[in-house]
Structure 1
Amino acid sequence: MRTPAAAALTSLALLAAACGGGGGDGGDGGGAPATGGTFTYALSADPGGLDPAMGVLSITNTTLSLAYDTLVTASDDGKLVSRLAEKWEVKPDSATFTLRKGVTCSDGSPLTASDVAGSVNHITDPDTKSPIYGVLVPIGMKATADDAAGTVTLSMPEPFSFIVESARSLFIVCGKGVEDRSLLTRGTSGTGPYQLTEAVPSDRYTFKVRREYAWGPAGATAAELPETVVLKVIPNEQTAANLLISGTVNGATVYGPDRARLEATPGVVKNVVPFTNGQFFYHQGDDRPAHDPEVRKALTQAVNLKELAGIASSGTGRPATGLVMEPRPCRGDSVTGHVPAHDPAGAAAALDAAGWKAGPDGVRVKDGKRLTLRLMYATTRGAGVQAAAEYLGQAWRKAGAEVKLNGIIDAKLSESLNATQDWDVVWLPIGVSLPSQLIGFLSGPSAPKGANFAHLDNKRYESLVAEAGLLPSAEGCGQWLEAESALFEAADLVPVVENTVLHAAKGATYDMQAGEFVPTSIRLTQGG
């Protein structure tokens, strides 16, 4: 994988915050649509630099989604639908997209096939050092343009399942931003229905509507959109909830305890959607206890995963069904029946059989070495994750392990996983939209030489993804799902819960998909 292991893993962990299903359009919208006006949304952090090629933070992509389009998008059931591309032709190793006519950039210039190809090739250029290369844009992808025909072709060096699906995550830069990328640090240059007009870091980002916009999915236009969208940076979730209840802001995404208060507030439009997965990985280095698959399975059997799921999600989660988030290209449940079941007695017997015998203080010992587990987790992931770590520690202590909890901030997570490697178990969220985006993390060179931070070596997984990667996406779904199940059966990683998030609105309605606005869905409502 070209992306350095540490940078790629940071992308994985941070992109997790981007994932989730449709947006806040459930319930009573509070009245008929209103024209004009300002829609204000509570942004939980500053988005940083706004160049789409460098946009790895979820909050950055939320911001960019107002101003940029992609070639295709996904419906709620995961099916691909047109966006900038009106049609496409797919071959095993390439896809050719025909662009819509009449699309313009925010500076008035027409969108060209060269703009689209340039957006791809800029990301794949080694000099760019784009953190989304190898995560959102597959390694080896190239783009060529035919401006006369209005077509752009994305190609891979060998057959690849998700060529078209990869295009749904790629924001297209056009106009002045193509020639001068420095304009994109605090500005936008895209074909979306909004253009950034004011950027005040750590305070607000103001967008103005482009009334000429008429090329949205399914014929969506800007005719009924609010005149202005303000993304107000409000890091404190309680403050955001208070402002939404008072009507000062129209929308907010809430993860923590304030969601219960909002769900009980009349007049608040509520929609609970999938957010990201909660799971843990075992370090399988040669000198680690979990190198032995029987030890991994025994440690998994020692944990009541149903109870753990409730704790980790503070009671707001759903049963885990896979590693890829909604809207998934492959529908199905790869988890049920493939994870070692809760069986403390069986766990004890398996550890005995593996040579780990209880010592005088109750801690198991093998060849003079204590069964010590260093459990790492991010302290910035909320009280549920802290409680989940404590619960895991208790379960494994009962099974005869010495457990050391190591809570660290997100910024140190990648360094600790890859560079120091001083851990045995890690609670790590995953948020990707395609199963192919996980291959480099779940196989291949181990850290620090590669992105395989847990030193996984699952030959069945590797064989299945290699086979699936050569098939068209729909035809390979069976193999992709079976590959995930192979990981769970070997206890390489243990899926625990699918977290959910609340998209809330007052005086407005809006949709979000995978943590990004569906900008043509934003409406202010009368009587809200």
Structure 2
Amino acid sequence: MSDPSHPARHPSTTTIPRRGLLLGSAAAALAPAGAALAQPRPPAAPRGQCVLGFSQEFTVAHPLMPANEVDQAVWWNLFSPLWGLDPAGRFYPILAKAVPSLENGGISADGLDWRIELREGVRWHDGQPFTAEDVKFSLALIMNPNFRARGKDGYDRIESVTVEGPQVLRWRLRQPYAPLMSILSQFFIVPAHRLAGAEDPNNTPFHAAPIGTGPFKWAERRTGSHVMLTANRDYFGEGPYLERLVFRYVPDVNVMYTQFRTGELDYIGLLGIPANHYAEARTLRDRVIHVIPRGSVENLTLNLGHPVLREKVVRQALYLSLDTRAITGALYYGLPKEAVTFLPPENWAYNDALPRHEYDPARAARMLDEAGWKPGRDGIRVKDGLRLEFTNSTTTGTELRTQAQQLLAQSWAKIGIAMKIHNLPAAVLWGKFWAESQFDSLMTNTTYTIASDPNVLHRFGSHAIPKRAGYGSNVSQFENARVDELLARGVVLNGIEERRAIYREVQAIIREELPMLPIFQGMQIEGTKAGLMGFENNLHVLANSWNAARWYWA
């Protein structure tokens, strides 16, 4: 963050409150004896390796394409953005010499003109120099209509890009766009000299052997097993201190926990340690357990294109008869906090005035009766020949989610709603099944925002339905004219209070319309081996390997 003292003038550089960043300072409380002593210095040269366990498989090497959290876990080590967000919500420069701001002249007073000076001496992993042309190419690639970009919001506001020298470029926006600073904190630059001129930008040799400017280089990928990276000894930043990173795919979270317990894994992330193993995990010798909130929400994502789920009263009845406390208490041992919106409480635009969730299956049944959904011979409700039934999907190998699905299916069956479980491997679920809204409903842990900004155009804007537009993340196919209007206004305003009012109203509408049913704030129980230094939770990224360049063994 360039200057957190002027949030009203530059809302995208607002410091995110650290309230709840580490629940109960669990990491410190559970650290082994002597951890408070001065840490040993990192090694003078990279040595050793770290094996990171993830329950989803790496899928996409190109950092500008749609991907999952594990992909981003790898990207942070292969590639570099212009700047990033630290755990306290401050922007810090990476490829840029400084984070542009009104105060340092990098952004004009009207917010339209941006001037970026880049670090000198940065090289791609193949030895070629990194220049402003690479940044310009990466911006153009995202806006290429033939390229399957992860998202175009913000980038589509850039009117022109001018290279003024090898390490200097400018761009001009059509109109101010407050979330752009946060969006660019996850804009990983790709090499123009490797990708320019590709006949099909979605399918190039780069996808199998990517190169970046990051602290680690691509070494190998074994499908169904792992991705290995090796130290980039010419890295321009701090580190790397490890010789190798191995991102191991372990689809069953219980097996993954066992491998962490027995020492095969040095770090266990993403879905982390299942809550039912938390008590035991705390007793493990030479392990540090981190209980951390995330910027995500465990929820049911509903496909409003489904003939049953498109009806608002059905969604309301589902939410009224969703026993969130049974899920958080019985299955997750009371560790996560219940959620009522898509933003985490740590976000500066969080609406704390929303009504708490009410569990009232009797009222839900009455609502369905009044709406014409009458029980059939088998007890499942029917209306106009349509049965009140749908499927719910999540990734295979997630035992607690499967138990939550079973609990929901039993609960909803009591009021005449049939929910069938249809789980899939992560690589399948996060492919066309998700992107083309082929599901009825999903149980996922979703991060709705990009980094620290509450803009959710890509999640709830009607223009961002990937099944129609080819980009965006509005897989619920949610459409609401008022939300579209609010989201369009929210990204061009500069005043943080005005923006806060807008996103509070958006949350209230989403809470009423329920394209997603919030269950609890994302919470992970992650583990590291004692002696692994440098690990730090960051609410503003999707995976905590974001700073693995600074990890080392004591």
TM (normalized to structure 1)? 0.78
Instruction: Please give the alpha-carbon distance, in whole angstroms, between the structure 2 residues aligned to 1:227 and 1:295.
Output: 52
1:455–1:503 Cα change, 3 Å? closer
For the Cα contact (< 8 Å) 2:151–2:458, is it kept in 1? no
1:42 is paired with a residue whose SS is: strand
2:532 paired with 1:508: yes
SS at match of 1:449: helix
Instruction: Give the CA RMSD over aligned residues.
Output: 3.9
Match of 2:99 among 73, 87, 98: 87
Compared CA separation, residues 472 and 283, structure 1 to 2 (3 A): same
Deviation of the 1:499 alpha carbon: 2.9
| Other-structure match for 2:151 | 133
Unaligned 5+ runs, structure 2: 1-19, 101-105, 199-203
**Aligned match of 1:161:** 178
Contact 1:298 1:350 in 2 (8 A): yes
| 2:324 counterpart of 1:274 | no
The equivalences for 1:394-405 within 5 A come to 394-399=410-415, 401-405=416-420
Q: Is 2:81 the counterpart of 1:70?
A: yes
Change (3 A) 1:508 1:420: closer
> Which of these residues, 36, 40, 43, is aligned with residue 32 of structure 1?
40
Aligned residues of 2:437 and 2:476 also touching (Cα < 8 A) = no
Amino acid at match of 2:50: T
Residues 380 and 417, structure 2, Cα contact 8 Å, conserved in 1? yes
> In the alignment, residue 517 of structure 1 is paired with which amino acid?
W
The change in CA–CA distance for 1:155 and 1:487 in structure 2 (over 3 A counts) is: farther
Q: Quick one: distance in 1 between partners of 2:258 and 2:433?
A: 37
Task: Trace 1:226-265 onto structure 2 (pairs within 5 A).
Answer: 226-235=241-250, 237=253, 240-245=256-261, 247=263, 249-253=265-269, 254-256=272-274, 257-258=276-277, 260-265=279-284
Residue 384 of structure 1: which of 392, 400, 405 is its match?
400
Shift of 1:372: 1.1
Does structure 1 conserve the Cα–Cα contact (< 8 Å) formed by 2:308 and 2:390? no
Secondary structure at the aligned position of 1:393 is classed as: helix
1:403 CA displacement: 0.6
SS in structure 2 of the partner of residue 206 of structure 1: strand
User: Hey, what does 1:3 align to over in structure 2?
Assistant: none
Written as runs of structure 1 = structure 2, the 5 A alignment for 1:34-73 is 34-35=42-43, 36=45, 37-44=47-54, 47-48=58-59, 50-54=61-65, 56-73=67-84
Equivalent position of 2:12 in the other structure: none
Q: Structure 1's 238 and 98: CA in aligned 2 closer, same or farther, altered over 3 A?
A: same
> Which of 507, 513, 518 pairs up with 1:495?
518
Q: Is the deviation greater in 118-127 or in 246-255?
A: 246-255
- Return the letter of the residue paired with 1:51: H
Partner of 2:17: none
Structure 1 pair 79/489, CA: closer, same or farther in 2 (3 Å)?
A: farther
**Cα separation, partners in 2 of 1:364 and 1:389, compared to 1, 3 Å:** same
Residues 226 and 318 from structure 1, CA distance in 2 versus in 1: closer, same or farther, beyond 3 angstroms? Answer: same
> How many Å apart are 1:345 and its aligned residue?
3.4
SS at match of 1:511: coil
Pairwise CA distance, 1:496: 0.8
Whether the aligned pair in 2 keeps the contact of 1:312 and 1:384 (CA below 8 Å) is: yes
Distance 1:32 1:333, change over 3 A: same
**TM-score, normalised via structure 2 length:** 0.75
Output one character per residue of 1:69-113: Cα deviation in whole Å (capped at 9) or x when no partner: 211111223232322221313454554323234444444544322
Post-superposition offset of 1:324:
4.6
Question: Mapping of 1:105-116 within 5 angstroms?
Answer: 105-116=124-135
Asked if structure 2 preserves the Cα contact closer than 8 Å seen for 1:175 and 1:189, the reply is: no
Cα 1:337–1:348, aligned 2, differ >3 Å: closer, same or farther? same
Does the Cα contact within 8 Å between 2:395 and 2:429 map onto a contact in 1? no
1:213 corresponds to? 236
Match of 1:476 among 493, 499, 505: 499
In percent, how many aligned pairs have the same letter?
18
Contact 2:324 2:338 in 1 (8 A): no
**Which runs of structure 2 are paired with 1:14-33 in the superposition (5 Å)?**
26=28, 27-28=31-32, 32-33=40-41
Aligned residue-pair number: 490
1:119 aligns with 2:138: yes
Report the AA paired with residue 228 of structure 2: Y
Query: Of the candidates 299, 304, 323, which is equivalent to residue 318 of structure 2?
Result: 299
Question: Partner of 1:433: helix, strand, or coil?
Answer: coil
- Residues 143 and 155 of structure 1 are in contact (CA less than 8 Å); yes or no, is this contact kept in structure 2? yes
Which amino acid counterpart does residue 81 of structure 1 have in structure 2?
Y
Given that 1:173 and 1:190 are in contact with CA atoms closer than 8 Å, whether structure 2 keeps it comes out as: yes
2:197 pairs with 1:189? no
Give the aligned residue type for 2:213.
T
Q: CA deviation at 1:260?
A: 4.7
Give the distance between the partners of 2:220 and 2:390, measured in 1 at CA: 46
Cα pair distance change 1:38/1:422, threshold 3 Å: closer
Change (3 A) 1:407 1:227: closer
CA contact (8 A) 1:508 1:523 kept: yes
| 1:456 alignment partner in structure 2 | 478
- CA displacement at 1:133 relative to structure 2: 3.4
Q: Is the 8 A contact 1:295 1:351 kept in 2?
A: yes
Quote the residue 1:521 is aligned against.
550
Contact 2:59/2:67 (8 A) holds in 1: no
Specify whether residues 462 and 108 from structure 1 end up closer, same or farther in structure 2 by C-alpha distance, changes over 3 A only: same
SS at match of 1:266: coil
Deviation at 1:495, TM superposition (A): 0.9
Shift in CA distance, 191/206, structure 1 to aligned 2, threshold 3 Å: closer
- Counterparts of 1:429-468 in structure 2, within 5 Å, are 429-434=445-450, 435-439=454-458, 441=460, 443-444=462-463, 448-450=467-469, 452-468=474-490
Where 1:272 maps in the other structure, the secondary structure is strand
* Paired residue type of 1:392: L
Q: Once the two structures are superposed, what CA deviation does each residue of 1:151-204 show, in whole Å capped at 9, x if it has no partner?
A: 334555444221111111111234864669856445453332333355555345
- In 2, distance between residues paired with 1:379 and 1:420? 16
Instruction: Report the 3-state secondary structure (helix = DSSP H, G, I; strand = E; otherwise coil) of the residue aligned with 2:422.
Output: strand
Structure 1: distance between partners of 2:242 and 2:393: 43
Match of 2:190 among 173, 190, 205: 173
Alignment of 1:308 with 2:330, yes or no, is: no
Give the whole-Å Cα distance in 2 for the aligned partners of 1:24 and 1:517: 20
Could you say what secondary structure the match of 1:337 adopts? coil
Distance 1:396-1:156 versus aligned 2 partners, 3 A rule: farther
SS at match of 1:466: helix
SS in 2 for 1:303: coil
Higher mean alpha-carbon deviation, 176-185 vs 498-507, is at 176-185
Any unmatched runs of 5+ in structure 1?
1-19, 215-220
User: Which deviates more, 36-45 or 488-497?
Assistant: 36-45
Q: Distance in 2 between matches of 1:311 and 1:519?
A: 34
